[in-house]
Structure 1
Amino acid sequence: MKKQLFISIAAFGILLSTGCTKLNETVLDESSAGGLTDKQAAESMIVPVYATLPNLFTHTNYFALNEISTDEAILPYRGGTDWGDNGIYIAMHTHNYTSTDPNLRNTWNLIFQGISRSLTAITTLPGINDASAKTFLAEARAMRAYYSMLTLDMFGLIFVKEDPTALSEIKRGSEAYDYILNEFLAAEPDLSSDVTHGRMSKQAVWGLLARLYLNAAVYKNLYAGQFTFAGEDMDKVIEYCDKVINSGRYELSPEYFAIFNDNNDTNKEIVFAVDQRADLNGHNRMAYFSLSGDQFPLPEFVGANGTDGPAITPDYYRTWENAYAPEDPKVDPRFYKENLSIYSNANDTCVPAANFYINRGILRGQQYGLIRRNGVFLKCANGNMLVGKLFHDTRNRPTLPVDFTEKVDFSVEGSNYPSGYRVEKYEFSRKSASGRNFGEANIVIVRLADIYLMRAEAKLRKSGDAAGALADVNLVRASRTARTPAPPALSNMDLDLLFRERGFELYWEMLRRSDMIRFGKYEGTWTEKTDANPQKRIFPIPQTAIDAASNLPGYLVQNPGY
């Protein structure tokens, strides 16, 4: 067994040296592949299982599929030169995605890489004589269930096998749902309750079970004209949400944007996340994806700027505007946080480098920030950073202000560089080697606010318990007290209001697509999108996967409508 184990470790060597996920124990690398203790060998099996997550959650993979396909995000062909990418982002937003979309292919491949690594760990860990192996085995099993849940959610199928050399069995619908459910339930007893939020814990599985039960009606009958939410499923949602809440391990964050800060590995609201700390080679680009190419968030890095990526749609913005009219939506501290005082006081043009932080949330109108000339940032006479009005200098349009407009679409005007309000939810890292390409904020998968909102939804769907749902929603709203005023309490609650509230609380967190499907809104009309085909609720299986299985006639069949 030892010889086989060391061969497995050597095969994973390159995986262990890049993109590792930190455990409470030492992170292993390729140099430690020989002469391992049993404990180190167990660790070396679980590390690759998590190592897929940072790549999966990059901006053009899982994010693009689950946000740009919705009413929250749109990515036009910027200025006629940027983000064309053969029209894949336009197709994603209009629901004209195809089986050759490279982002779909990459997301599919990364998920199945995670499943493969999970299976390797599941088959190897039972032979390792160390107490940690039992916990790691449960983590690997729970992670395989999670990866399978992603394939069911996005592609409508899962692949099942216990023997690495065998052909996987393909399951869809209720069979796939039941498999994932049973795997989570089987893993849960041996999981720890006391690990970092970058690892599968009991509480992480409880949160994922709540999410699974909440979407049971969708996963079991994907193309239904109307979903039927079983009372017993909603009871289970409430049960598992209660378990997370009553564990006492989590707290709603008084400062909303602290959940997405560079140092959020200690944030007590997060239940499960992609661990992206600097010492783990974090490389998400969530912070830079939406910003202008002429916004520079870090005085330390003259090359760290935005990329003029996706904006929010006017339709999504109007949900905020309509909810708070006649007041501006920035009265809700989840919408916006001002860090640069020049926005309130035009004379505040000099900021110490250590105190320079760009604004967070949904960014509108004329933008101010660091001014770069000839490769350096301009400074005030006292050595502080000069802050001023921004123009599109990096786009060779020095007279075009970085003035974000509500209008954004696929017209010439609507796809210009300033078009669309932008989102700066995750903080730019002040610790990475480049500032731009490496983001160390852990990417949230499950957090406590979502637990409360799932419980509220289950109460509404099960018995129309509007009072109970309202109490959960208002509890979340009232918790954001770091900046006053906190969002005002709502006076009533129904499913449409709850959908709106999920959009306010969870925007840009890659839950919008599944929310829209579950609430019956994915076939709706919004900016540049009119497709109403329910077959588009799931994505096509990548053509590369179909081709790879072509020697097995009838084995892997393309999803309907593609």
Structure 2
Amino acid sequence: MKRLFKITFLSTLLIAFSCTDLEDELEDSFTEDKQFSNDGVSAGGGDSGGGALLAPFSRLRAGSAGNTGFFAVNSVTADDMAVTQKGGDWFDGGIWIQLHRHTYGSTHDRINELWNDSYAGIGECNTSLQSSLTPNQTAQVRALRAYFYWRLLDGFGRVKIITSPGADAPQSEREEVFEFVESELLDALGIPAVTASMDLSGSALTTDISNYRINQYAALGILAKLYLNAEVYTGTPRWEEAQWAAEYILDNSPYQLCGEGCSVPNLAKRPGVDSDPETLEGYAAVFAPNNENNPEIIWAIEYDETGAGGMNFNMMTLHGPSQLTWGLDEQPWNGFVVLEEFYNSFEEDDLRREANFLEGPQTDFNGNPLLDYAADDDDLVINYKPAINELEPNAIRDGGVRMKKFSFALFQRSNMNNDYPIVRLGDVHLMRGEALARAQGDWNLALPDVNALRDRAGLGPLTSLDADTFLAERGKEMFQESSRRIDLIRFGKYEDTWWEKTDADPAKRLFPIPQAQIDASDGTLTQNPGY
């Protein structure tokens, strides 16, 4: 999607930190015009250095925002969403039930897709690195390859580090994979280590704003994710490096939280329905179908309904008759639902609650009640209720609030236009706040970052924090962004009990090496413990 628009920021809250001394600076009536453009880097127009980067970056679309691969295994295993079995619909051999209940094994299709999608992206990167690239292109591809390896590191731990086309390698331990990801990103940034006073002037990566490509801030965002989870991956915490990486972005980049005055037209506005807003503002605008060039997004995956498909949240979550609400091209599949306890954790006046979820009685294109003539009971009106009767085998067809964060558009096809953020400023605030709090042993040090996001969500500030409260705040901000499983593991909550899930096996923190990959490896891959 290649469009250019101007955002005006009003009453922006700026928070500045030193490494050890926290100080709030509130600047009122701050107004700044910024232009963010992705011209020249979209799937339809090649990229800024020719077509050399198109193939490896395009591989990101597989499994990142659909019901396969990375999104599926990192979302359905967590405590915020599920895929309910509605009679014969969405059973699929029990794979969704296994993900939700943590009973997945080495032959699970979605887990195998995570492996295949990641290595397919790595393969494209390796092929691209064999061609004639500029130093900037080489740095971007190496950083992208490191990101694909981060997905493997997080999901499987022990994988093969393959750096040239057609090559093979022995299976590396998790610590070795961590070190490889770290070194590739540091090399791309032109620094030996992340420090409080690092100088990136020697980096081949630029500071240019190009949401579909990797600049210095995107690479630092990946490093912050890596260091934030370092204790999980290696047993050794790296909180200060996570803080410094996030802090550099916040202190030096032009990105801004999309808040009051940051808006886009609501492409789901039905002409005859007055309750549909004309515009989407703040948090809701970050994830809208026209979110390209949003000032909060540092690096995103480009999705487009005509030339860059793969995002189909509308199909995954909406009930079939909801096709008539927006005049969708196809009838949705009625699968993914939001768990009641997670939905109820949002305060009623939290603007993220309205942006994230579709709840209540549904209406058609003209605002009339939307009916399901195959309803489970005598109430034909589709009503997305928070309560879900059961995970399987006969979940109520309109049970469960639905995902709406990546909002819809009129006459939308099965593939959506919303770009999918990998690194955005809201997450950077949370990473900085958490890393600082953990490094100093005081969760209250994360209050400025948490309260900046609460302010954007229309909520009053918290006056104190602990680990559980921080995790809850992070969950509300990061819903549907493939981070919840990772966060639950880092906070020691992945073995907890939640709706229809009681498994407490810590071995499940890693996915099994897919049996198909072990069988094809001639003995060079071995299974993770516990499978």
TM-score bracket for the superposition, by shorter chain length = 0.7 to 0.9
Shift of 1:310: 1.4
Match status 1:253 vs 2:269: no
Counterpart of 1:369 in structure 2 is 363
Quote the residue 1:291 is aligned against.
Answer: 318
1:478 alignment partner in structure 2: 455
**Residue of structure 2 in register with 1:454 after alignment:** 431
**Which residue is equivalent to 2:340?**
314
Q: How far apart are 1:445 and its partner, in Å? A: 1.1
Q: Structure 2: which amino acid aligns with 1:150?
A: R
Q: How does 1:189-338 map to 2 (within 5 A)?
A: 189-221=203-235, 230=237, 233-254=238-259, 255-278=282-305, 280-296=307-323, 299=326, 301=327, 303-320=329-346, 329-336=347-354
Q: Deviations over 1:241-286 (max 9, x none)?
A: 1111122321111111111101111111111110114564233102
TM-score (norm 2): 0.81
Distance 2:483 2:389 in 1: 22
Q: Secondary structure at the match of 1:271?
A: strand
Does the 8 A contact of 1:67 with 1:510 survive in 2? yes
How far apart, CA to CA, are the structure 2 residues paired with 1:200 and 1:306?
Answer: 34
Asked if 1:160 corresponds to 2:161, the answer is yes
Question: Which residue matches 1:504?
Answer: 476
Greater C-alpha Rg: 1
Structure 1: give runs of 5+ residues left out of the alignment.
1-21, 33-38, 127-132, 222-228, 321-328, 337-359, 371-384, 481-485
CA deviation vs aligned residue, 1:219-245 (integer Å, no higher than 9, x gap): 114xxxxxxx63xx2111111111111
Counterpart of 2:90 (choices 77, 83, 104) is 83
Are the structure 2 counterparts of residues 297 and 235 from structure 1 closer, same or farther at C-alpha, using a change threshold of 3 Å? farther
Count of residues paired in the alignment: 458
What is the DSSP-based 3-state SS (H/G/I as helix, E as strand, rest coil) of the residue aligned with 2:300? Answer: strand
**Whole-Å Cα distance in 2 between the matches of residues 362 and 307 of structure 1?**
17
Mapped partners of 1:124, 1:250: distance in 2: 33
Contact 2:211-2:298 within 8 A present in 1 as well:
yes
Aligned-partner Cα distance in 1 for 2:44–2:283: 34
Residues 314 and 414 of structure 2 are in contact (CA less than 8 Å); yes or no, is this contact kept in structure 1?
no
User: CA 1:181–1:294 in structure 2 vs 1: closer, same or farther (change >3 Å)?
Assistant: same
Which letter does structure 1 place at the counterpart of 2:40?
N
Q: Hey, what's the Cα distance between the residues in 2 that align with 1:409 and 1:539?
A: 29
Q: Does 1:68 align with 2:76?
A: yes
Q: 1:206 is aligned with what amino acid?
A: L
Instruction: Find the counterpart in structure 1 of residue 198 from structure 2.
Output: none
What is the deviation of 1:72? 0.6
Output one character per residue of 1:356-380: Cα deviation in whole Å (capped at 9) or x when no partner.
xxxx422333x2221xxxxxxxxxx
Query: In the alignment, which residue of structure 2 is the partner of 1:545?
Result: 517
Partner of 2:398: 418
Encode CA deviations 1:199-226: one digit per residue, 9 max, x unaligned: 11111011111110010000114xxxxx
Report the secondary structure of 2:502's partner residue. coil
8 Å CA contact retained: 1:156, 1:538: yes
Equivalent position of 1:522 in the other structure? 494
* One-letter amino acid of the counterpart of residue 135, structure 2: K
Q: Deviations over 1:52-82 (max 9, x none)?
A: 111221421222101110111111112x021
Tell me which amino acid in the other structure corresponds to 1:24. G
Give 1:466 shift.
3.4
AA partner of residue 258 (structure 2)? S
Change (3 A) 1:106 1:467: closer
1:440 to 409, 412, 417: 417
1:148 deviation in Å?
0.2
Q: What is the Cα deviation at residue 536 of structure 1? A: 0.3
| 3-state SS of paired residue (1:439) | coil
Once residues 301 and 159 of structure 2 are traced to their aligned partners in structure 1, the CA distance between those partners, rounded to angstroms, is: 22
Note the C-alpha offset of 1:106: 1.9
Q: How far is 1:308 from its partner? A: 1.5
Superposition deviation, residue 397 in structure 1: 7.7
- The answer (yes or no) to whether the contact 1:59–1:285 under 8 Å persists in 2 is yes
Query: Aligned partners of 2:357 and 2:394: how far apart in 1?
Result: 18
- Where in structure 2 are there 5+ consecutive unaligned residues? 1-37, 190-202, 260-281
Identity of aligned residues (%): 31
Which amino acid letter does the alignment assign opposite residue 362 of structure 2?
Y
TM-score (norm 1): 0.77
Q: What is the letter of the counterpart of residue 185 of structure 2?
A: F
SS in 2 for 1:522: coil
Corresponding residue to 1:392 among 360, 372, 395: 372
Instruction: Give the Å deviation of 1:395.
Output: 6.5
Shift of 1:26: 7.9
Q: Is the Cα contact below 8 Å between 1:409 and 1:527 reproduced in 2? A: no
1:158-189 Cα deviation digits (max 9, x unpaired): 32233434322322222111111000111122
**Per the alignment, in what secondary structure is the counterpart of residue 444 of structure 1?**
strand
RMSD: 2.4
> What secondary structure sits across from 2:94 in the alignment?
helix
Aligned AA for 1:309?
A: G
The superposition leaves residues 368-398 of structure 1 with CA deviations (integer Å, 9 ceiling, x where unpaired) of 221xxxxxxxxxxxxxx52122222376988
1:339 aligned residue: none
Change (3 A) 1:410 1:83: same
Q: Contact 1:58 / 1:285 at 8 angstroms: preserved in 2?
A: yes
CA distance in 2, matches of 1:90, 1:460: 36
- Trace 1:341-352 onto structure 2 (pairs within 5 A): none
Secondary structure of 2:363's partner?
A: strand
Correspondence for 2:18: none
Question: Within 2, Cα distance between the matches of 1:236 and 1:546?
Answer: 35
Residue 561 of structure 1: aligned partner = 530
Aligned to 1:405: 385
- The 3 A distance-change label for structure 1 pair 263 and 411 is closer
Letter in 2 for 1:558: Q
Which whole-Å deviations, capped at 9, do the CAs of 1:323-376 have from their partners, x for residues lacking one? xxxxxx33000111xxxxxxxxxxxxxxxxxxxxxxx422333x2221xxxxxx
Q: Distance in 1 between matches of 2:41 and 2:463?
A: 48
Give the Cα–Cα distance (whole angstroms) in 2 for the partners of residues 150 and 272 of structure 1: 16
Shift of 1:416: 1.4
Taking a change above 3 Å as real, the CA distance of residues 521 and 414 of structure 1, as seen in their structure-2 partners, is: farther
Secondary structure at 1:400 match in 2: coil
Q: CA deviation at 1:23?
A: 7.1
Specify which structure has the higher proportion of helix: 1
